[in-house]
A and B are shown apart, each in its own frame.
Chain A
Amino acid sequence: MADHILVMKNITKEFPGVKALDNVNLEVERGEIHALVGENGAGKSTLMNVLSGTYPYGTYTGDIIYNGEECQFKTLRDSEEKGIVIIHQELALIPELSIGENMFLGNERKGRFGIDWDRTYHEAEEHMKQVGLKDEATTLIKDIGTGKQQLVEIAKALSKNVKLLILDEPTSSLNEEDSRMLLNLLLDFKKQGMTSIIISHKLNEIAYVADKITVLRDGATIETIDNANRDIDEDRIIQGMVGRELSDRYPAREHHISDEIGMEVRNWNVYHPIYTEKKVVNDVSFNVHKGEIVGFSGLQGAGRTELAMSIFGKSYGTNISGTLIIGGKEYDLKNARGAIEAGLAYVTEDRKGNGLVLADTIAINNTMARLEKVCNRGVIDVDQENAVAEDYKEKLRTKTPTVQQSVGNLSGGNQQKVLLSKWMFADPEVLILDEPTRGIDVGAKYEIYCIMNDLVAQGKSVVMISSEMPELLGMCDRIYVMNEGDMVAEMPASEATQEKIMAAILKSDKK
């Protein structure tokens, strides 16, 4: 019989009005990497929160059997004592503290008088070595990139003597290179006998790393797929997730490219807002035609977001220079208001931080970028505002009972739709979409793609920044590649491949 480190039996968890988990079963064998997949709201995170004691024993029904004994975790600390450590999507590190301090936060290495700093940093570096981090343990968290921060989280888990490591969307904010490194690290740990559970939307990564894949849908276990031979492809997983076969992950699209140029940027330079001598965008030129979707590929820190935000009314950076032409007219935009009036929209990659007011309703968010459109001499016509929001809700098929719902209560995919509604309502000619499908499920992604196609069919120009190459290849007419602030390649999507894009990046690195 298989040696199960963890068995979760008939787990049911209810929130007021919603059954988040309905008799879910999960069996994890010792020493395997077990993937948990499902659309947003399928109950993956809820299940892991039940396991880790975030939702204490008694608030759910069902049994958790860990290492052969039944567990009743009341707090996160209870589960950590047993060696179950969960790393959340949003990293729980304090930027102003050092790597070592973060690693032993709440678990300080005590000497006779207070904290033993020598021991703290020595042990921290031991664990950092295990994950391949070569920085000093005294480096502050804010001075290292997201990729390394993720590694610090894992090192922190190791310091807690982890037996079962749970990673919730560990690669969602990493570029392909860092993601691959992280996944290989998990495979190394597996060889050393550690068990991991990984939650991810990135199915190619799952197929690469997981031995078993459990699919959740609407709070119920659908199936567990065996991937020991690495013979499961993404389509097979998607089929389980959505309950139907998604024959095409990208909607078919007629080409609408007109000869007219929607937006052109020439010799664009941007410097870092704080380290003003550092150049983040270096002499970049590009254009996008009306009715065209242009993709921007590149690794994290390639300067794509910085480029986009600096174009959008100088919302990022200092000492910006270059020429910006929108609809044949040259603009010198001073702020976001000017950019919106010039017909530009920037749909941020960080919908919670930069995009939406989570506490406010869908209706209020929907009109925010162009509130004057529902105003009469500065007085808001609330009825008209609600009608607008209802209209977009129907058009984009946002799932919500009413437009008076707070945006914070929506799932990621629906939040993204509200964010898109907000910018579509601003009625721009050129839309810059920064990671428009980050962290949302396959079904919602497809719908976002359809919206993009509708936009270009109306003759608008779309610039799509994405770290997922297949998405760029599937959706764009033309692809630009950036690396370290430089524009390094431009290719028609018909000729582009993932290999070609990577090659362009790597070649420019050598220079």
Chain B
Amino acid sequence: MNAKTLLKKYTMVIALVVVFILFAILTGGRLLYPQNMSNLLLQNAYVLVMACGMLLCILTGGNIDLSVGSTVCLVGAVAAQLLAAGLPAIPVILLGLVIACIIGVWQGFWIGNIHIPPFICTLSGMFLFRGLGRAILGSKTVSINNQTFLNIFASYINIPGVDSGDVKWSAFAVGVIVAVGLLVFTAMNRAKKAAKGYKQASAVSEFAKIVVIDALVLAYTWKLAHYKGIPVMALWVLAVVFIYAFITSKTAFGRYFYAVGGNEKATKLSGIDTEKVYFMAYLSMSILAGLSGLLMAARIGSVNGDTGTSFEMDAIGSCFIGGASAYGGSGTVGGIMVGAILLGVINQGMSIIGLDNNWQYVVKGAVLLVAVIFDVVSNHKTGKAG
């Protein structure tokens, strides 16, 4: 791999590093404070979760789901009202996810089986669910006081004894375990491949990559350890990200989303149920939106009629910045995570500097356009040579 292809493959990662360093300097190092690093994750948890679901929708052919912000509001509203009515946390969480499922089945059915254009169907959902959410809230802000509910989503891991001091050692311990685990896993994988005689990437590049990732994990958990430790929300996010990364890269089920986006007719003639693929994309999206609704409700501690407004745009934006094709058929979970974090760093950095909210929109819009222009132009150039 020469410098040029390396640059091309990791463009967004490099962009992320540059933007990160830029804001670290502009904020006079405040971006790197443990509290800000912890918030970076918490404030963008919903984006990271929903971007995973949005990726499946986009893979099917650049289709998006506009209704997710409203689903966040509706599920949050139901949860808040039920908790206020005194229902225990676990049934409320399950009920919230069931509602998200129903929304997903509703949209998946119209889009997958009846072939309603996704844009229109989810635009309708955007109004429908927002309206229902507001009706359930009775146009009020409903606050959440159920401690169990808040603990499940918005607390920090705190092991008595280990984490009693100023430094939460459990966080750093997790970081060390993960770092060592990754290293061992990579080595084992290489050994397995070598035993079977399969081709593999050079040891230097593969281990160099792991060392960089390990360094980041250690650095980040070190920061977390100096704030309140590992947030529970991070576990939810990681679980979703790992499941979706696994589905999209390793399973037949995931492969079908790429196939439909690449060539729907050929996919259908290959015996794959394309209607089900669409159905599943929108079902999974709504479930993740529901989960985000619960995460948001717990983090803010209350739900109102504007909760989740324009969240769909953050999720969609992350996917496109992260290299998902606007025509479908390509994009990875890893890529869109970088996209989501890039957006998150920009948000966070500008907030710390104290930049006006209006200007934040301008910057986000510009970043999205630049990212997509870059994607289209660079692909066009290589695509034409054939």
User: Are B251 and A336 in contact, with the CB atoms below 8 A?
Assistant: no
Which among B68-76, B217-225, B257-265 touches the partner chain? B257-265
**Within 8 Å of chain A (Cβ to Cβ): is B193?**
yes
CA distance A378 to B249 in the complex (A): 12
**Within 8 Å of chain B (Cβ to Cβ): is A368?**
yes
Residue in B closest to A381 when the chains form the complex, CB atoms:
B250
CA distance A355 to B259 in the complex (A): 11
6 additional contacts (CB under 8 A) given A15-B385, A370-B271:
A315-B268, A336-B270, A358-B263, A359-B329, A380-B252, A422-B270
Contacts of B198 in A (CB 8 A): 383, 386-387
Given the interface pairs A360-B258, A360-B262, A383-B193, the reply to whether A368 lies near B386 with Cβ below 8 Å is: no
Given the interface pairs A357-B262, A357-B329, the reply to whether A409 lies near B386 with Cβ below 8 Å is: yes
Given the interface pairs A360-B258, A360-B259, A360-B262, the reply to whether A336 lies near B268 with Cβ below 8 Å is: yes
Given the interface pairs A337-B273, A339-B271, A368-B259, the reply to whether A355 lies near B266 with Cβ below 8 Å is: yes
B5 vs chain A, min Cβ distance (A): 12
Contacts of B330 in A (CB 8 A): 359
Contacts of A313 in B (CB 8 A): 271
In the assembled complex, 7 residue pairs joining A and B whose CB atoms fall closer than 8 Å, in A order, are A335-B273, A337-B273, A355-B269, A357-B263, A358-B263, A369-B270, A383-B198
What is the size category of the interface that chain B forms with chain A?
Answer: 20 to 34
A179 vs chain B, min Cβ distance (A): 27
**Within 8 Å of chain A (Cβ to Cβ): is B272?**
yes
Contacts of B255 in A (CB 8 A): 364, 371, 380
Contacts of A368 in B (CB 8 A): 259, 266-267, 270, 272
A52 vs chain B, min Cβ distance (A): 16
Contacts of B250 in A (CB 8 A): 379-380, 382
CA distance A313 to B270 in the complex (A): 11
Residue in A closest to B256 when the chains form the complex, CB atoms:
A371
User: Are A378 and B271 in contact, with the CB atoms below 8 A?
Assistant: no
CA distance A118 to B266 in the complex (A): 43
CA distance A355 to B268 in the complex (A): 10
Residue in A closest to B259 when the chains form the complex, CB atoms:
A357
For A16, A346, A356, A368, the residue with the greatest tally of chain B CB atoms inside 10 Å of its CB is A368
CA distance A358 to B267 in the complex (A): 12
**Within 8 Å of chain A (Cβ to Cβ): is B196?**
yes
CA distance A424 to B210 in the complex (A): 39
Residue in A closest to B250 when the chains form the complex, CB atoms:
A379
User: Are A378 and B263 in contact, with the CB atoms below 8 A?
Assistant: no
**Within 8 Å of chain B (Cβ to Cβ): is A247?**
no
For B258, B259, B267, B270, the residue with the greatest tally of chain A CB atoms inside 10 Å of its CB is B270
In the complex, per-residue mask of B217-253: 1 if CB is within 8 Å of any chain A CB, else 0: 0000000000000000000000000000000001111
Contacts of B251 in A (CB 8 A): 375, 378-380
CA distance A436 to B189 in the complex (A): 41
B113 vs chain A, min Cβ distance (A): 14
CA distance A364 to B272 in the complex (A): 14
User: Are A354 and B385 in contact, with the CB atoms below 8 A?
Assistant: no
User: Are A335 and B269 in contact, with the CB atoms below 8 A?
Assistant: no
**Within 8 Å of chain B (Cβ to Cβ): is A348?**
yes
Contacts of A336 in B (CB 8 A): 268-272
User: Are B385 and A369 in contact, with the CB atoms below 8 A?
Assistant: no
Which of A370-401 touch B at CB < 8 Å?
370-372, 375, 378-380, 382-383, 386-387
For A356, A371, A386, the residue with the greatest tally of chain B CB atoms inside 10 Å of its CB is A371
For B196, B263, B272, the residue with the greatest tally of chain A CB atoms inside 10 Å of its CB is B263
Number of chain A residues whose Cβ lies closer than 8 Å to a Cβ of chain B:
40
Contacts of A337 in B (CB 8 A): 271-273
Residue in A closest to B386 when the chains form the complex, CB atoms:
A409
CA distance A349 to B268 in the complex (A): 15
A167 vs chain B, min Cβ distance (A): 23
Contacts of B386 in A (CB 8 A): 15, 408-409
In the complex, per-residue mask of A324-366: 1 if CB is within 8 Å of any chain B CB, else 0: 0000000000011111110000101000011111111000100
Which of B59-94 touch A at CB < 8 Å?
none
CA distance A346 to B265 in the complex (A): 13
CA distance A357 to B60 in the complex (A): 13
User: Are A315 and B269 in contact, with the CB atoms below 8 A?
Assistant: yes
CA distance A312 to B262 in the complex (A): 22
B176 vs chain A, min Cβ distance (A): 29
Contacts of A357 in B (CB 8 A): 258-259, 262-263, 266-267, 329
Given the interface pairs A357-B262, A378-B253, the reply to whether A383 lies near B196 with Cβ below 8 Å is: yes
Contacts of B272 in A (CB 8 A): 336-337, 368
User: Are B265 and A372 in contact, with the CB atoms below 8 A?
Assistant: no
Residue in B closest to A369 when the chains form the complex, CB atoms:
B270
CA distance A364 to B262 in the complex (A): 11
User: Are A354 and B252 in contact, with the CB atoms below 8 A?
Assistant: no
Contacts of B383 in A (CB 8 A): 408
A475 vs chain B, min Cβ distance (A): 24
A203 vs chain B, min Cβ distance (A): 26
CA distance A337 to B272 in the complex (A): 6
Contacts of B266 in A (CB 8 A): 348, 353-357, 368
Contacts of A408 in B (CB 8 A): 383, 386
Which of B326-345 touch A at CB < 8 Å?
329-330
Contacts of A359 in B (CB 8 A): 262, 329-330
Contacts of B252 in A (CB 8 A): 371-372, 375, 378-380
B253 vs chain A, min Cβ distance (A): 6
B258 vs chain A, min Cβ distance (A): 7
B2 vs chain A, min Cβ distance (A): 13
Given the interface pairs A359-B330, A375-B252, the reply to whether A346 lies near B269 with Cβ below 8 Å is: yes
A226 vs chain B, min Cβ distance (A): 34
B202 vs chain A, min Cβ distance (A): 16
B366 vs chain A, min Cβ distance (A): 28
Residue in B closest to A355 when the chains form the complex, CB atoms:
B266
Nearest 9 A/B pairs, CB to CB? A357-B262, A337-B271, A336-B271, A369-B270, A340-B271, A357-B263, A368-B270, A371-B252, A354-B265
B334 vs chain A, min Cβ distance (A): 16
Residue in B closest to A340 when the chains form the complex, CB atoms:
B271
Contacts of A380 in B (CB 8 A): 250-252, 255
B211 vs chain A, min Cβ distance (A): 24
CA distance A409 to B385 in the complex (A): 9
Given the interface pairs A15-B385, A372-B252, the reply to whether A335 lies near B196 with Cβ below 8 Å is: no
For B196, B251, B262, B385, the residue with the greatest tally of chain A CB atoms inside 10 Å of its CB is B262
Contacts of A378 in B (CB 8 A): 251-253
CA distance A339 to B265 in the complex (A): 16
B335 vs chain A, min Cβ distance (A): 15
Contacts of A355 in B (CB 8 A): 266, 269
Residue in B closest to A360 when the chains form the complex, CB atoms:
B262
Contacts of A339 in B (CB 8 A): 271
CA distance A369 to B268 in the complex (A): 9
Residue in B closest to A346 when the chains form the complex, CB atoms:
B269
Which of B78-117 touch A at CB < 8 Å?
none
For B196, B266, B268, the residue with the greatest tally of chain A CB atoms inside 10 Å of its CB is B266
Contacts of A386 in B (CB 8 A): 198
Residue in B closest to A364 when the chains form the complex, CB atoms:
B255
Contacts of B268 in A (CB 8 A): 315, 336
Residue in B closest to A370 when the chains form the complex, CB atoms:
B271
Contacts of B258 in A (CB 8 A): 357, 360, 364
Among candidates A335, A353, A409, residue contacting B271 with C-beta atoms closer than 8 Å? A335
Contacts of B196 in A (CB 8 A): 383
A364 vs chain B, min Cβ distance (A): 7
